[in-house]
Structures are given as C-alpha cells and as structure tokens.
C-alpha cells in the first residue's frame, strides 16, 4: 500500500513506528527546499574580480556532491569558465571544502569554517554577507592562501508543497516540528518563518543534528527525522524513524533511512503517518479478535459444545479472518 503511494518502508516494524510519531525534525537544504541551488550573487573583495572568485571556487566544488558545490560548478560552466585543476580536495561535511589550486590552499565554506583559520574577518565584508543571509540566501566564503578573496551567495526555492504538508502534519496532531540545518541562523529563521515552523536549530554539524534528535526523543519518545544528505545520516540512524528523500537523497541517506519518500513528495509524510496509525488500529483489532475467538473456543470445549473437526475449522478459520482483516490496509 505504501509502495503504491510512493512511500517505501524498508520493513514492517517501521510502519508501526510511523504511526506513533509525535515529533518530526526536518533538514532544510534539499529536504524543505528543492536543493537546486543557484548562484545569486558573487561579491569579490576590493581588487578582486567576480570571475576569479567563481572559478577558484569551482576548481574545488567541481569535485563536490553538495548542492552548493553543484550550484557553483554550474554557474562557472555557464560563464564558459575554464578552471584550474585542484588537488587534494577534501569535503568537510557541514562546513565546506578545501584543496590545493596552483600550489595555494583554497577553502570554500561557511563563516565558522573560515574563522577557524582567519579569526578576524573584515567587518564590512561580514556585514555585506549578513545582508544577503537575511534575504534567505546562503553565503560561502572563498579563501586563497589564508586571504579572503570574495564570497558567493546561493539561494534555492522552498518546495511548493512544503507549507501545506507541514500544516497537514500539525492537523494530524504532531506535537513538535523542528528545522535542523547546518546553514546559518538568519537563513534558517527566514525559511522556518515562511513555513510556520516554530523551533529552529541552525549551524549544526552532523553530530549536533544527532544530539537534537536525542533531546527530542527524551521528550517525545517517537521522533521522525526527514533528510537528504550525508550530513543527515547520523540523525536518520538515531531517529525512531529515519525518512529520506528518494530523488534528492544521497546514497548514504537512502541506505541509512527506514522509510523513503519516492519522488521527494513531502505530502506523502502525512499519508505515511495515517497509514501507520491505521495499521496499528488493525493490529489491535486483530489481536483482540484472535484472543476472543480462542477464548470462545475454550469455553465451547469445556461445555462440550464442540467436536474436534469444528474446533480445527474454528481455529484455522479465525486465522484466515485475521489475515483478511489485515488486508483491509490495501484498500
Ligand atoms: P544542510 O543541513 O542545510 O543540508 P549542510 O550541513 O550540508 O547543510 O551544510 C552546512 C553549511 O556548510 C552550508 O550552508 C555551507 O555554508 C557549508 N558547506 C557545506 N558543504 C559545502 C561545500 N561543498 N561548499 C561550500 N560550503 C559548504
Ligand atoms: Mg540537506
């Protein structure tokens, strides 16, 4: 039934757990948003050129699977850019990417990542970046040989069905909906606000997402996590039910999750919960029915009202009825 609706449950117990979920945490990029980021603005520092900032970033990002990396590579390609080869490229999950270009160390990533190396960032430049973030854009810095050469703002669209899907989950009685993201607080707030999500945790590393899930579990026991990236995998594994986006999802996320939403449709979430709740109701009905029937057979046995063949037919018959009742889920 789930598969027909585009919801893949990896095993039966996950359907049961899905019906008991009380809180749901969402990753932002790629989950609530399309993850199809586009470069919105390139800001070079004084004396630098947009083109060089973009090409230098693309030299590293062309090795990356991150949506930000893809956006930067795409933008550089569109400008017919030829970038230099990068070596020793390393993705720093949830932070950025680092490598060597023409003998110099180049870093692309978020403010916290850049601050690790350059504690005193130019305040004027920080202000420009803050303004872009307030517009819901994600800003990454480009650093060459320990010097900031510019920043790139990327933006993506919120999934069209996200708002309605979250509203539906609230109607279903989900007590807490949370936004978890590695992105900065300002961008995260702007997205959460437009979707009616009250609880936001921003600037999280993958292990922080896991910690938040643990805290939620202490309060709500059954917590679902919806995500798409490698950075979500620990949280997906920790959650009572891990749910991955089938289309946008990274292989690691798909491997770790218990439930996969085919074609990334967020509205399937409320369907999955309804299906789980219905399954739980039918399970209870079936157990009640089966036990009552056995009890009646026992009474009939002791009062001498039943013979062996009738007893066997009654017992096996009740089993068939339970199976048929279970199949109601297919309707
Ligand atoms: P989310 O939780 O929203 O999916 P991530 O944890 O993947 O985001 O990334 C968090 C932040 O780390 C990004 O907003 C970006 O600033 C930075 N980052 C991660 N990977 C890259 C990359 N390949 N290039 C540049 N910045 C990156
Ligand atoms: Mg993501």
State residue 41's pLDDT score: 94
State residue 134's pLDDT score: 86
Rounded to the nearest angstrom, the distance between the alpha carbon of 319 and the centre of ligand 1 is: 53
3-state DSSP assignment of residue 272? helix
> Relative to the alpha carbon of 182, which ligand is closest?
1
Rounded to the nearest angstrom, the distance between the alpha carbon of 93 and the centre of ligand 1 is: 7
What's the average pLDDT block by block, 10 residues per block, for the chain (331 residues)?
93 94 95 90 93 95 92 91 92 94 95 92 91 90 95 93 96 97 91 94 94 97 95 95 90 94 93 96 96 92 88 91 94 85
Does the active-site annotation cover 156? no
State residue 17's pLDDT score: 96
SS3 content of the chain, % helix, strand, coil (to 5): 50, 20, 25
Rounded to the nearest angstrom, the distance between the alpha carbon of 250 and the centre of ligand 2 is: 9
Cβ pair 223, 216 in contact under 8 A? yes
H or E stretch covering 216: helix 206-220
As a whole number of angstroms, the distance between CA 189 and CA 104 comes to 36
- Site residues for ligand 1, CB cut-off 6 Å: 27-30, 61, 64, 66, 68-69, 91, 94-97, 108-110, 138, 140, 181-183, 229, 231
As a whole number of angstroms, the distance between CA 175 and CA 14 comes to 20
As a whole number of angstroms, the distance between CA 225 and CA 200 comes to 14
As a whole number of angstroms, the distance between CA 305 and CA 117 comes to 86
State residue 96's pLDDT score: 96
Tell which residue, 91, 95, 94, has the closest CA to residue 60.
91
Cβ pair 112, 126 in contact under 8 A? no
Sheet holding 223-227, edge to edge: 7-9, 259-261, 241-245, 223-227, 23-27, 176-180, 199-201
Q: What is the pTM of this model?
A: 0.82
Token pair belonging to 226? 């919806």
Ligand 1, atom nearest to 28 Cα: 3
The DSSP symbol for 45 reads: P
- Distance between alpha carbon 281 and the CA centroid of its chain, in Å? 28
State residue 226's pLDDT score: 96
């Amino acid at each position: 039934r789930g598969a027909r609706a585009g919801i893949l449950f990896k095993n039966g117990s996950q359907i049961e757990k899905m019906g008991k979920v009380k809180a749901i945490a969402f990753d932002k990029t790629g989950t609530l948003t399309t993850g199809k980021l586009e470069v919105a603005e390139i800001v070079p520092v004084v004396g630098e050129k947009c083109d060089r900032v973009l090409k230098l970033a693309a030299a590293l990002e062309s090795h990356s699977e991150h949506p930000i990396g893809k956006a930067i590579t795409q933008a550089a390609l569109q400008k017919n850019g030829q970038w230099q080869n990068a070596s020793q490229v390393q993705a720093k999950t949830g932070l950025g990417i680092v490598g060597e270009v023409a003998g110099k160390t180049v870093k692309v990533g978020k403010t916290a990542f850049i601050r690790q190396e350059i504690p005193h960032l130019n305040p004027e430049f920080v202000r420009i970046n803050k303004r872009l973030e307030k517009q819901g854009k994600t800003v990454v810095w480009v650093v060459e040989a320990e010097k900031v050469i510019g920043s790139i703002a990327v933006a993506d669209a919120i999934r069209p069905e996200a708002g309605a899907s979250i509203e539906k989950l609230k109607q279903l009685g989900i007590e807490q909906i949370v936004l978890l993201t590695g992105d900065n607080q300002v961008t995260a707030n702007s997205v959460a606000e437009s979707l009616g999500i009250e609880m936001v945790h921003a600037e999280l590393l993958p292990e922080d997402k896991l910690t938040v899930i643990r805290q939620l579990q202490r309060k709500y026991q059954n917590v679902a996590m919806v995500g798409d990236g490698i950075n979500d995998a620990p949280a997906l594994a920790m959650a009572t039910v891990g749910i991955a986006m089938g289309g946008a999802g990274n292989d690691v996320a798909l491997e770790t999750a218990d439930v996969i939403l085919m074609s990334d449709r967020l509205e399937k979430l409320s369907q999955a919960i309804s299906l789980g709740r219905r399954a739980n109701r039918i399970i209870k009905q079936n157990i009640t029915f089966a036990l009552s029937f056995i009890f009646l057979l026992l009474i009939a046995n002791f009062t001498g009202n039943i013979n062996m063949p009738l007893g066997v037919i009654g017992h096996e018959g009740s089993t068939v009825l339970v199976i048929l009742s279970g199949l109601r889920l297919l309707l």
